[in-house]
A and B are shown apart, each in its own frame.
Chain A
Amino acid sequence: MESSQDPDKDLVQRTQDGDLSAFNHLVVKYRNRVLGVATRMLGDRVEAEDVAQDVFVKAYRGLRRFQGEALFSTWLYRITANSCLNQRRRRKLEAQTSLVVPGAEPNADNSGSNPHTLLEDKELKLLIERAVQELPEEQRIVLILRDVEGLTYESIAHALGLELGTVRSRLHRARMALQSRLKNVISLSA
């Protein structure tokens, strides 16, 4: 079982014993990853931060029932994914939000309209973020967890409650769709 190799096992155990400082270490360790998933899923930085904080509060309250059947990180991503999907349902947005990354706004004029100019790395990343936002949410969450967060197929399947084959097919479709959207951009950045 993968939980036997959980690097967070000790911190989780101390938190379950009532040590709030141990949980703070877990928050510090995972806050940016949880926030990253939430931001890319919701497309709103402020809203994502609220959701991310709520994810950790839920995790703390539910940690007493956490039996270690999966890695703590996988369990945390599961809470994150569910919270984001619930938040999206709550506000009834359907992949029409614009991603706002702190310190920068995407520049539409540079999104491949000038084929003779090599895209700056920062601009390229903004275009990728926007392309990710345009994916259907069930493909997007799989793509983010796999290609951005680096989770295994098995962890993704556990976090999202999906069959392994479903994860593979959704990931494939997400990658192909993203590649299709970014075809011109990628060739320019090469």
Chain B
Amino acid sequence: MSQAYLDYNASAPSPFELENELTTLIKKNFANPSSLHANGRQARSLINQATCSFAEFVDCEPEFVYWTSGASESNSWALHSAIESAKRNGKKPRLLLSAIEHESNLVAAKWYGQEHGVTVCLVPVDSSGVVSISFLENLFKTDAQWSLLCVMIANNETGVIQPVEAIVALAKKYGIPTHVDCVQALGKMDFSVKKLSATYTTFSAHKIGGLKGAGALVVTGSGQILSPLIHGKQQKSLRAGTENPVGVGFFGILLKKMKSHPFANLMANLMTMRNDFESELKRTIPGTIIHGEKVLRLPNTSCVGFELTDGDSILMNLDLEGISASSGSACTSGSVDPSHVLLAMGCDKNISRASVRFSTGWGSQWRDYEAVLKVLPDIIGRIRKVATK
């Protein structure tokens, strides 16, 4: 039984047949990119090419790109840098994050709050999951002493797109540095890092089909706003550790190919399928709630609550039927607390626990959604029967 894969937001398969390229990459780029010899130069060259492809794709200056082990490190690094920068300027570090940020941001901020006395404040979202600009406007009028404002472009759980350009512009007006998590937006919607001009932006390779263990942090302006988390000589002494030529190189190859690929059409198709899927869900399963339905979302994401059920049980059932989906952020323990994103949107604990995310991508077809539609009414019925017994 082949699995129907509807969990692209957790991690995506490669959109292109690149097995041969990958094998070649591994074979040819084994050397340390910091070595002076020809083998080292080859690995370095691969990274440089990838940096250019990446910079071209997201529209930024190549020299402002720093490679990391992934978005979690990038996010932590942005927070750390903002905190250190505030301290250097003799200010008490204060972080402002949207309540729906990825856990890697929220948990890191919480840690700085608990262990280092950093002030952490969350920005609320409305019931559709959109960060409240009016809250920020009002806040900044009385209090603009923030070391960093953290807002993601598109939420990983609901796909809801945030008014980041307006938010970054507003923060700039008050001289507040900004951090924009672009992880889910990459490859799914148009945006330009240059136009956005946030202080920090973060990226991950595996969300578009790259390898795990490769991510990026992009800064605007000079590297002076960065303080290293990992100390050593690489990457201008700002991010030590031997770079990952294969992970980064493969990311670059993917982006280069995607650049010349009509991905706008693809996203339009995904959106049509997604909307049809959601209509069918609502038609066939009573008590279905589409989170963020009324606002702008990524075209590939559905976050759906089913009253009187339990997300874990739905996912287990889907898995047994050969369907891969998830509930919000992937969790290593395999068991999930109610989604902080849905709670922030004002959903009660029960519906937050009873929600499932379906996310598609390049390889998805209607038959994947169809597989879900075929089995889900029975599954929901069964779980509700048990719940009300």
A and B form one complex: no
A residues with CB within 8 A of B: none
